[in-house]
Amino acid sequence: MTFFECEIYEYSTTVTQRVEELARLGHYPKSSYAVPSFTLGELIRKSGLSSAELLCIDVEGMELDVLRGNSWDLFHPKLIVVQKWNSPMKKPTDVFAFLTGMGYSLVAFDIASSFYMRQD
């Protein structure tokens, strides 16, 4: 996938729509280059990891893609923290809908992250 590196590194992303949004605000990538990518499920299988208490996702707009790429039959962490600036407490998000459908409940939200606990 293409990685767009910005002067303000926190704005760097692989999401073309985010690049366009930042450009409207006057922030342009200083470079772009191809980077290898793989799904969370592939990473879990390659690592041999079978369980975890915590999964923290901060991927600049690709959170749902990461979650969809998990092998839920193999890897079902107890707590998932997702950086998402839009609070699902004010308006449900795509990540909220996905994780509640996977058996998680939203248990907290801070300035930029949502905390989901597995219900079992």
Query: Which pLDDT value is given to residue 86?
Result: 67
> Where in the chain are the domains?
2-34, 49-118
Terminal Cα distance for the chain, rounded? 36
- Give phi and psi for 33, each to the nearest 5: -160, 160
Is the entire prediction scored with pTM above 0.85? no
Pairing of strands 79-83, 54-57: parallel
Give the number of C-alpha atoms closer than 13 A to the C-alpha of residue 24, restricted to the C-beta side: 5
Q: pLDDT tens digit string along 62-81?
A: 899 999 999 998 899 999 99
Query: Which pLDDT value is given to residue 35?
Result: 93
Overall average pLDDT of the 33-55 stretch? 91
Q: Which CATH architecture has domain 49-118?
A: 2-Layer Sandwich (3.30)
Q: pLDDT tens digit string along 76-113?
A: 999 999 987 666 766 788 999 999 999 999 999 888 89
pLDDT interval class at 9 (50, 70, 90): confident
